Amino acid sequence: MSDVIVPKGQPVPGEPEKKGWLFKWTNYLKGYQRRWFVLSNGLLSYYRNQAEMAHTCRGTISLLGALIHTADSCTFVISNGGTQTFHIRAHDEVERQSWVTALELAKAKAIAQESDDDEDQMTSGPVAAGGTDGEGEDAGGIARELAARFHDLRTCSELVARHGAALQRSLVDLEIPPTDTTKQVSERATLFRISCNAMMNACSEFMGAAAASSARMSRALQHERDQKMRLQEVVEQLARQHDNLEKTVTARSTPHTGGNGSGQGNDTEDEDHEFFDAMEEGVSSAMEDKTSFVIKVPVNRKNKAKGGESSDESEGETVTETQQVIFVEDKERAESTMGGAEAAAVSKSEDKEQQDIKIWPHVSQTTGAVDGRPRRTRVPDKPNYPLSLWSIMKNCIGKELSKIPIPVNFSEPLSMLQRLTEDYEYSSILDQAATCADPAQQLAYVAAFTVSSYATTACRTTKPFNPLLGETYECDRMADLGWRSISEQVSHHPPMVAQFCEGAAGWQCWQEFTMTTKFRGKYLQVVPLGGAFAHFPASGNKYTWRKVTTTVHNIIVGKLWVDNHGDMDIVGEAGPAAGYVAHLKYLPYGYFSKDTQRKVTGVIKDPQGVPRYVLQGHWDSRVEIAAVTSASPDNTVCKTGKFVLAWERVPAPPDSDKWYNFTLLAAQLNEPEPGVAPTDSRLRPDQRLMEEGLWDEANTEKLRLEEKQRVARRELEAAAEAAAARHVSPPPPPAPIWFTRQAAPGQPLLRHLYNDRYWDCKRRQDWPALPDIF
């Protein structure tokens, strides 16, 4: 007689998996005796009767390493390797098979349990250190339960396969004359039915366990989400408290200046050193002053040569590093420089320049006309056509955006040519730059102009139309705004736009715009390529730059929002401005940043690397600039004059949210005008239909235009292949009409430069052979 033994690692026996009366072989005198068997948690135990279950177990065998095989139609044997062997007989073959199936399932479950216990012992240390006991036990229990159910299914599958094969053989044997064939088939069919029932029960249990586990996981996930939100709130609160404490400490620790004579000058010098040391130690003592800020400026340093070399050889190669520079407004100098002879001379110089160059007004201050009538002030309201973005974009992950067929529902009734023309909405900044004799000041205003071109991206999340190859757009606002521009789609693969704009105040701008775009599931990233240029013919100054990265967030779910981020270098290439450079930094959106979002900072340096002007502001609202009054290439603390407003965004019309969040200039870009080229974007039918609210017709027309462009491309490729087969020159590809690809003066790269033909052709209404694209 033995007590119930529970192997180490096994749970305490709970509800039996199977129980019932069987006959167990005892000895040769008594033979098979009737006993009460209980199968639970991988253990098979037997008792003389059911009453003994409460106190006395006659024997137990573990199925973990046991062998189970059948002796005859009613007898089966369980052995664990020689120490224990149970010979058991059932009442009939059906009962025997039912017990054998249950034992095999219990054995598989015990093996899986043992494997899980080994893994738990190996990982118990890290799990205990990384989470709570309740969470670890709950996750482990879910995994073990699912694994056990899975092994049950696998065992049942093997049994069904085994008995199914036996049944198949018996069915084949039906063709043999022996009389016992029918009985054998019946027995095999009964065994197969029992195995199938066990399989279905195991499947049902597995589904129940999976459903329960899924519910527990859902609750755990919701709990984690709540914890994350609470943690985020706590972190934000701590960040605000830290900022307040930092300001309090700074206010209390700042020494009060006093005294007179030379001692005052010494105190001031000491204050500068104390301010710098505090920044080096990470305490932002100057941040309390809103006129102080820090910029990381790229500097070029030369590696020192090794000892023993001559002074002529001591200069090594130049290495670009990043240096943190603090700019502090020198209030006394800013106030004092407002008066005196120097200020008067500057004022006279500016007045003289103002007489020669006119500063043109903003579009909101004008009442321009087209074809003898006032320009429109809005476009029709945007219709409410619901459409799931996911249904369009789910198959487009990783593809180039220009190759994705997107319906007009996600667009705005403007082409990319017109959207780029919006860059000159605040052209008055360039007018102001044209009045500056100082290249550093001029570059500061050019930098402010580049920032202003992003003003509308904060609320404009719709996509402009992709221009067709050969499509053009003119915008002649010389009469009211003082500038005019011409744009042309000069390439289709890759898409590329060439644009030229000139201002009456004496400036010229042109750009070759292309981009790489990728859809990454949650966000869409646009990386501009190509370059932009600004030229001031009077002084010969020319500047070049490249736009920063734009990211559209919450593509699938949530409200769309746009962020512009990255570094921009505006480099002086010709004239007195050669060697000047403006370093601008568009700070990325940060959830836990204590600074205001959409911030941009910059510094303008002369050819010697000395900061001359600084810039600060936000790309969606305003930019201020200030002259640096005290600086050197190696100085990490610079003083500035008073900041002046270089650009401020004009508020949008009050109801613009109903018509695509357009500004007044954007609303006028697609207004019909007489005399434009036949390829002008204003004449594009799908875009016009969308503006008028006919979106279904616009989608149909958009597909027609795109297919027409593809047909023209295929015909050109077929003609090229036919020419190659005949060994003759292929027909030339479509070439731009208003731009010529050539090297710019002083530039080795080929670029699309304006050929000065468009406005003359328009004046004479003598258009060359333009492509039929609409």
Per-residue model confidence (pLDDT) at position 249? 72
Could you tell me the two tokens for 181?
Answer: 């064939």
DSSP helix/strand/coil, 386: coil
Q: How many CB atoms lie within 10 A of CB 771?
A: 15
DSSP helix/strand/coil, 33: strand
Per-residue model confidence (pLDDT) at position 339? 41
Q: 756: Cβ–Cβ under 8 A, 6 or more apart, which residues?
A: none
Q: Taking a C-beta distance cutoff of 8 angstroms, is the pair 461, 560 a contact?
A: yes
Per-residue model confidence (pLDDT) at position 253? 60
Closest C-alpha to 19, from 32, 33, 31, 35: 35
Angstrom distance (rounded) from CA 576 to CA 589: 37
How confident is the model over 683-726, as pLDDT tens digits? 999 999 999 999 889 999 999 999 898 898 888 888 888 888 88
Q: Taking a C-beta distance cutoff of 8 angstroms, is the pair 501, 534 a contact?
A: no
Neighbouring-strand partners of residue 325? 295
| The CA-based dihedral angle spanning residues 666, 668, 669, 674, taken in that order and rounded to the nearest 10 degrees | 180
DSSP helix/strand/coil, 611: strand
How confident is the model over 363-401, as pLDDT tens digits? 766 656 666 678 899 999 998 876 655 556 555 656 555
> Residue 492: CA atoms inside 13 Å, Cβ hemisphere, count?
14
Q: Taking a C-beta distance cutoff of 8 angstroms, is the pair 39, 103 a contact?
A: yes
- Averages of pLDDT over runs of 10 residues in the chain (774 residues) are 37 65 88 91 88 83 84 87 84 87 84 65 42 50 70 70 69 62 74 76 77 80 81 74 72 51 40 37 42 62 45 45 63 46 43 54 68 83 74 58 70 94 95 95 96 91 91 94 95 90 95 86 85 94 94 81 93 93 91 78 92 93 91 70 93 89 94 94 95 91 91 88 84 89 76 93 90 89
Angstrom distance (rounded) from CA 754 to CA 740: 6
Q: 24: Cβ–Cβ under 8 A, 6 or more apart, which residues?
A: 32, 33, 35, 37, 46, 86, 87, 88, 89
Strands (E), 577-621: 581-586, 599-605, 611-618
Burial track 616-640 (b if 16+ CB lie within 10 A, e otherwise): bbbbbebbbbbbbeebeeebebbbb
Neighbouring-strand partners of residue 293? 327
Q: Taking a C-beta distance cutoff of 8 angstroms, is the pair 754, 510 a contact?
A: yes
Mean residue pLDDT across the chain: 78
Beta strands 315-329 and 637-640 are parallel
Q: How many CB atoms lie within 10 A of CB 680?
A: 19
Q: Which class for 554: exposed (0-12), middle (13-18), buried (19 or more C-beta within 10 A)?
A: middle
Per-residue model confidence (pLDDT) at position 494? 84
Q: Residue 587 phi/psi, 5° resolution?
A: -75, 130
Q: What is the DSSP letter of 243?
A: H
Could you tell me the two tokens for 653?
Answer: 């019309």
The set of long-range contacts for 209-217, using a CB threshold of 8 Å and a minimum separation of 24, is 209/145, 209/146, 209/149, 210/146, 210/149, 213/142, 213/145, 213/146, 216/138, 216/142, 217/142
Could you tell me the two tokens for 156?
Answer: 């049942």
Q: How far is CA 53 from the centre of its chain?
A: 64
**Tokens 């105040």 belong to which residue?**
505
Break the chain down into helix, strand, coil percent, rounded to 5: 40, 25, 35
Q: Domains in the chain, start-ordered, CATH in brackets?
A: 18-121+138-228 (2.30.29.30), 401-580+642-724 (no CATH)
How confident is the model over 198-227, as pLDDT tens digits? 777 777 777 778 778 777 887 888 888 888
User: 0.75 exceeded by the pTM?
Assistant: no
Per-residue model confidence (pLDDT) at position 180? 65
Residue 494, preceding bond cis, omega within 30 degrees?
Answer: yes
Q: Residue 90 phi/psi, 5° resolution?
A: -100, 170
Q: Which class for 25: exposed (0-12), middle (13-18), buried (19 or more C-beta within 10 A)?
A: middle
Per-residue model confidence (pLDDT) at position 578? 94
Q: What does the H/E/C string look like for 705-724?
A: HHHHHHHHHHHHHHHHHHHH
Helix axis angle for 181-253 and 93-130, nearest 10°, is: 10
Could you tell me the two tokens for 240?
Answer: 């605000």
DSSP helix/strand/coil, 733: coil
The amino acid sitting at 143 is A
Q: Taking a C-beta distance cutoff of 8 angstroms, is the pair 569, 557 a contact?
A: no
